[in-house]
Amino acid sequence: MKYKIDKENLVYEGFLKIKKATITHDRFHNENTISYSREMLDKGDCVAVLLFEKDTQNVLLINQFRYPTTQRDNDGWLVELPAGGIEKDEDPVTCAIREVEEETGYRASQLQLISKFYATPGVSSERMYLYYAEVTSNDKIAEGGGVKEENEDIQLCKYPISEIDSLLNNSKINDAKTIIALQWFLLHK
């Protein structure tokens, strides 16, 4: 199967970038091709980390305001994994360690890759590196809460592992990467 990007333009550049393209590709069920135009949120790669605090038997999540969620829910606050964008020429593991420390105040050192995936491939180029890390309460080395210069406002949330099922079943967690990570934890830990 072949494809060709016939034309691609940057149509918006702000906090996010949006590109518009005309694409032609082969069809599955006949010899003809199909052409159409699409917009894409052109986003770089990102990381997210499921933290497990071994000595307290808690998973460590964060709570922060997410403007896009206000379009469907009345509550813009989202409980999710610590996460962030990979900077230019930055290694995903280095980024994950940095983001964990900035957002939670914990120093994570041994990260295990759970999966690498596209969260919304129909509209975004963003690829997510999802990690798991174990920490202890002694690994809390900084305040956390996000980068003040970036005006981040993040709350650390600790949940006993005995509450993971109820978090998933009562819609307390409605972020895809967090659902994937918590389900992985229930299956593997």
β partners of residue 112: 132
Cα 106 to Cα 189: distance, rounded to the nearest angstrom: 21
In this structure, the answer to whether residues 146 and 105 fall within a common structural domain is yes
User: What is the domain-level CATH number for residue 98?
Assistant: 3.90.79.10
pLDDT surpassing 90 at residue 130: yes
Same domain, 184 and 125: yes
Q: Verify that 30 and 108 share a domain, yes or no.
A: no
Residue 146 · residue 154 · CB < 8 Å? yes
- Give the domain range for residue 122: 46-188
Q: Are residues 10 and 51 in the same domain?
A: no
Residue 163 marked as a ligand binder: no
Instruction: Specify whether 125 is located in the same domain as 86.
Output: yes
Q: What is the mean pLDDT of residues 34-60?
A: 96
- The residue among 111, 119, 132, 127 whose CA lies nearest residue 60 is 132
Confidence class for position 171, pLDDT limits 50, 70, 90: confident
Same domain, 81 and 114: yes
28 shares its domain with 72: no
Q: How far apart are CA 54 and CA 11, in angstroms?
A: 47
At residue 6, the pLDDT reads 97
143 in a known ligand binding site: no
pLDDT, tens digit (0-9, with 9 covering 90-100), for 53-91: 999 999 999 999 998 888 887 688 999 999 999 999 999
Q: Are residues 90 and 24 both part of a single domain?
A: no
Whether the per-residue pLDDT at 148 is higher than 80: the answer is no
Dihedral over alpha carbons 26, 124, 45, 187 (to 10 degrees): -90
Residue 101: what pLDDT? 95
90 is in an annotated binding site: no
pLDDT band at 151 (very low <50, low <70, confident <90, very high): confident
Shared domain for 67 and 94, answered yes or no, is: yes
State whether 148 and 77 are in the same domain.
yes
Query: To the nearest whole number, what is the mean pLDDT of the chain?
Result: 93
pLDDT of res. 124: 95
Residue type, 68: P
Distance CA 67, CA 77 (A): 8
| Helix residue ranges, H only, the chain | 92-104, 164-169, 176-188
pTM above 0.85, yes or no: yes
Residue 71 confidence (pLDDT): 87
User: How does residue 142 score in pLDDT terms, banded at 50, 70 and 90?
Assistant: confident
Asked if the model's pLDDT at residue 31 lies above 90, the reply is: no
Q: How many domains does the chain have?
A: 2
